[in-house]
Amino acid sequence: MFRTTLIAMLIAAPGLARAEPSIGARLAATCAACHGTAGDTRGSTLPRLAGQPRQTLLASLKAFKTGQREATIMTQIAKGYTDEQLDLLAAYFAAQPPGGAK
């Protein structure tokens, strides 16, 4: 449903395709408290998400969602996202420059 709606929006408004990362950015806002703004985690307690390969991030998110990868908080958080939303999150963080470089 989400993917169909997104595709319909992109077809209806071709300029919206450039705005797609903002969808990932909006979803990623909930991650900032632990993983820092745009996934640029400070310190070594949690992994930096910015700049990691999209498929690596997506695999981790899906593993949290299914319970294959256990975590106190991430397992519960990941269950609240659809697979399409997890893909948008992975794409957003993969596109962010590591270390805040722009």
User: What is the rounded distance in angstroms from the CA atom of residue 102 to the CA atom of residue 30?
Assistant: 22
Nearest of 50, 51, 60, 48 to residue 87 by alpha carbon: 60
- What is residue 22's predicted lDDT score, i.e. its pLDDT? 77
pLDDT tens by residue, 2-60: 555 555 454 454 554 454 457 899 999 999 999 998 999 888 888 899 999 999 999 99
Residues 6+ apart with CB under 8 A from 99: 40, 48, 50, 51
Residue 1: pLDDT band (50, 70, 90) is: low
Q: What pLDDT, on a 0 to 100 scale, did the predictor assign at position 63? A: 97
CA angle 15, 19, 21 (to 5 degrees): 150
Band (pLDDT 50/70/90 cuts) for residue 86 is very high
The structure's pTM equals 0.74
Every domain of the chain and the residues it spans: 21-100
CATH topology of domain 21-100: Cytochrome Bc1 Complex; Chain D, domain 2 (1.10.760)
